[in-house]
Amino acid sequence: MQPLHYLIFHPDYARKKTEVQGKVLIRYQLTDWQGNVWVDEPNGNEDPFVFSERWLYSYCHATQLRRNPVTQDAYVRSGSYLFFCSGNAANKKTIELDTVFVVDHSAKWPDNQEGIPEEFQQDYKNNKSDRWKRHFKYPFIGPHTGKYTYVSRQWFDKKDEYSFLPISHNGNRVKFDLGLLTPDLQSKIENNIPGKYPVMLSEKEKTELLKRTLSLTSIQVVGNLTRQDDNINIIDSCGTSCRTKSVGFGKC
């Protein structure tokens, strides 16, 4: 059974143009790089979280994805592509992508949200862990629910398919007019724009979207990312600041 794929909308107000250092592929050659990517702002749940050896996706729209096999239907599993794009741009009939997330595996949360997935137990309530401070703690202090965490497949895994942040020739997010897609795919996306529901993609539709994305990508940011803005204030998971308005819970 082939994996299922999705195009996922998220709002621009939660995304921040962020200067980073990391590893990138330019003409498929690995090199060090410093430049801008578009990721969730700190002081809120960073989802997908890309400042980790493996990227993580747990909350925003994740519970709306088909994550279990239903009869013989495809579902999100190893090899699934999750394309994250701007909901604001979609309103203007433009696809503007910031993340191509290839799923390596899914990690199930304990029932009744008593802890986090077993493979990340070393991060649980560990205030020295970026994964805890910037991603996993949010179901315990806000409205998000932890059910499944999708864990990325990376270029360093030596796989032909891998996650990346696509950067265009002018240093911006990759974007293109929705009308450049085939009529059926264009119509499917347009139908989901009003409610910003994830768009289910077949293998053929995933391939079309991926080819379009790669044709416009000059730099593939593939990992080892660190932020260059040193004044990030990550909130204390136990302190009163967890309840301040600066915490970005409601960006989905």
pLDDT band of residue 146 (cuts 50, 70, 90) is confident
Mean local confidence (pLDDT), 91-99: 98
Give CA–CA dist 111/4, Å, rounded. 25
Residue 80 counted as domain residue = yes
- 120 located within any domain: yes
Rounded to 5 degrees, what are φ and ψ at 229?
-85, 105
The band of 232, judged by pLDDT with boundaries at 50, 70 and 90, is very low
- Region 19-42 average pLDDT: 94
> What pLDDT is attached to residue 251?
56
The per-residue b/e assignment along 54-90, b for 16 or more CB within 10 angstroms, e otherwise, is: bbbbbbbbbeebbbeeeeeebebbebbbbbbbbbebb
Number of folded domains in the chain?
1
- Give me the domain span that covers residue 11: 5-243
- Mean pLDDT along residues 143-163: 91
Q: How many CB atoms lie within 10 A of CB 194?
A: 9
Question: What is the rounded end-to-end Cα distance, in angstroms, of the chain?
Answer: 30
pTM: 0.89
Is 251 part of a structural domain of the chain? no
Per-residue pLDDT band at 114 (split at 50, 70, 90): confident
Is 213 part of a structural domain of the chain? yes
Residue 252 lies in a domain: no
Kindly state whether residue 143 falls inside one of the protein's structural domains: yes
Does the residue 226 lie in any domain? yes
d(CA 215, CA 221): 15
Q: Is there a domain that residue 114 lies in?
A: yes
167 neighbors 221 (Cβ within 8 angstroms): yes
Q: Is the pLDDT of residue 174 over 50?
A: yes
